[in-house]
Amino acid sequence: FPAVRQDKPEPGRNSFLLRCRQVNHIPRRFRLHLFPLAFMPSISFLNHLGALLTLWLLLCCGAPAAENGRILMVTEATFPPYEFRDGNTILGIDPEIMREVARRTGRELVIEDMSFDSVITAVVSGKADAAASGITVTPERRRKVDFSIPYVEAAQVIIVPKGSPIRKREDIRGKRIGVQHGATGDIYVTRNIQQPERFPNGALAVAAVAAGKVDAAVIDQDPAKMYVAGNERLEILPEPLTSESYAIAVRKGDTVLL
Ligand code: ARG
């Protein structure tokens, strides 16, 4: 627009003041129309603001591990109904929740399956953005990651072969107990009973009970129900060992995902 063109740029002068001064040279009848232009920030100011905003977003919100536009979720997918595989697809409650988070934040969800004892480390190291894996909130884990609000009340239960002499928690002392490595069942048995036999996932711990390789397995209640539903020679003891809640883990300070 010729009327506001800056013919002789004066370095160091605030562009707003410069514009106001130039408006004085514009014929009166045009001034009213041009008045709003005086309040428009200069292009270079907008560029700086943009750069500052980007920097602020990166610093305050934590750069997403995956490129922008993606949420990389990590999980261990042998944990029905929370996560399980159907061929190459990972289905379940956790992927469903994260799909909705991705939809609401306008990003694409990418899911990676890994061992359960690596999911929190993956978030801490920045490899992943969120661990959604039926994760129980514990004080130790809280020190490493931030947790979403809890979405399930859960418990550890004991699975035994039907008719086993093990009827309650005291009976497993001195027996061979299978757990999932790094899971809260592992933590509970190690702290309160004895060294358990650790398996890469709960399904293998339950398979070991069915095969008579261990006397009992201690795993989460909901997957336990699903596993036992598929094997009529196993049963779950009625009294739960713990009371826990599941939440989704994100990097500390990642308020956008939280
Ligand atoms: N809730 C237990 C824990 O946090 C076990 C979770 C196992 N999750 C899984 N997807 N395999 O330790």
Residues 28-60: pLDDT tens digits? 554 444 444 444 555 455 556 555 554 444 444
Return the H-helix or E-strand segment holding 130.
strand 130-131
Among residues 255, 85, 245, the alpha carbon closest in space to that of 150 is found at 245
**Ligand 1 centre from 198 Cα, in Å?**
13
Residue 236 is classified by DSSP as E
What is the pLDDT, as a whole number, of residue 12? 43
Q: Closest ligand 1 atom, CA of 136?
A: 4
221-229 vs 202-210: helix crossing angle, rounded to 10? 40
Partnered with residue 197 across adjacent β-strands are 178
Cα 248 to Cα 124: distance, rounded to the nearest angstrom? 13
Residue 118 has pLDDT above 50, yes or no: yes
214 in Cβ contact with 208 (< 8 Å)? yes
Within 13 A of 134's CA, how many CA atoms are on the CB side?
A: 29
pLDDT digits (tens, 9 = 90+) for 178-224: 999 999 999 999 999 999 999 999 999 999 999 999 999 999 999 99
Mean pLDDT lowest among 29-33, 95-99, 114-118, 183-187: 29-33
Average pLDDT, the chain: 84
Residue scoring higher pLDDT (38 or 71)? 71
Q: What is the mean pLDDT of residues 60-87?
A: 82
Atom in ligand 1 nearest the alpha carbon of residue 186? 12
Alpha helix ranges (H) inside 91-220: 93-104, 119-124, 139-144, 184-192, 202-210
pLDDT at 52: 56
pTM of the model as a whole? 0.75
CA of 184 to the centre of ligand 1 (A): 7
For residue 21, the model assigns a pLDDT of: 40
Q: Which atom of ligand 1 is nearest to the CA of 182?
A: 12
Helix/strand/coil for 94: helix
C-alpha 11 – ligand 1 centre gap (Å): 62
Q: What percent of the chain has pLDDT over 70?
A: 74
pLDDT above 50 (res 176): yes
